[in-house]
Amino acid sequence: MGYPMASNLFKKLGPSKFWVLDHSEPVALKFKQEHGNVHVATKASKIAEECSVIVTMLPASAHVRQVYLGENGLLSKLQPNALVIDSSTIDPSTSKEVSSILEKQGATMLDAPVSGGTLGAQAGTLTFMVGAKTPESFEQSKLILEHMGKNIVYCGLPGTGQVAKICNNMILGISMVAASEAMNLGVRMGMDPKLLASVINTSSGRCWSTELYNPCPGVLPNVPSSRDYTGGFGVSLMAKDMGLAVNAANETKSTTILASVTHQIYNQVMTTPGYEKKDFSSVFKWLNNNAEKYQ
């Protein structure tokens, strides 16, 4: 996600001092080779030292803590009045905590997780769900985010962007399992998968998982299911996001029966040999291969 987002930002931002950092240095060097006038850092502290506007995209809460607060992290060299935008999907409490720490250093941090997947990142059409302390800081962030997305939504105070993202991905995870079960059922009962998807997508069962990201191979081109579930949004990331939703539900004493079951399913898919690096829509294949187990 971070690579195409940074690419769009670099191309649309205009003349500027542009630094990149990736946990895999060859990836950062590839970015420099492809884009030209780019500086490559090996430590987050160097980014903080050189840049007054910083955008991060990291896998999980632990990575955010390390990059922001750890040794040679952003906090150690953060410029006064820096604008820091974190587009990771993490738990709201970590987001609020890190934001508060950076605020004491004079910086402004916003949580701005995204929706739209890798295709949206490449096309620059992402939705950003933004948590910001003030409407003014949100407006400031829009000047950056609009180069990477088309829907920039102010959700409220720090942490609320994460709340919106967790709720969205909870629905996405559940709907993908539902779509996979329905497509498997219809195909096993003799329906042509393309025809079945067409009927669903002109009926009340229509959803993003059936219409734009169908998990059944051969229904749609240019989606992970058409290339053996490579690329896309990893099943391990969906398992993580479902876990964030379940944890938030436990903290707020909210009833999330489907989320809890779906979290267990993605955990099982993720730990099944051959699925570790697959897209989350591979749950379709996993359900098909394990049909007898759940009879």
Q: How many CA atoms lie within 13 A of 49 on its CB side?
A: 11
The answer to whether residue 142 is catalytic is no
Query: What is the Cα–Cα distance from 151 to 142, expressed in whole angstroms?
Result: 10
Q: Which residue has the tokens 């898919």?
A: 269
CA 218/CA 3 separation, integer angstroms: 28
Contact 280, 223 (CB under 8 A): no
d(CA 224, CA 232): 6
Beta strand 149-156 pairing with 108-111: unpaired
Pick the catalytic residue: 165, 240, 278, 285?
Answer: 165
What is 58-72 written as a DSSP string?
Answer: -SSHHHHHHHHHSTT
| Residues across the chain | 295
* Residue 212, amino acid: L
> Measured between alpha carbons, how far is residue 140 from residues 109, 133, 257, 272 in Å?
11, 12, 39, 44
Within a 10 A sphere around the Cβ of 171, how many other Cβ atoms?
15
Q: Where are the alpha helices (DSSP H) in the chain?
A: 2-13, 25-35, 44-50, 61-69, 92-104, 117-123, 135-145, 160-188, 193-200, 208-211, 235-252, 257-270, 283-289
The set of catalytic residues is: 165
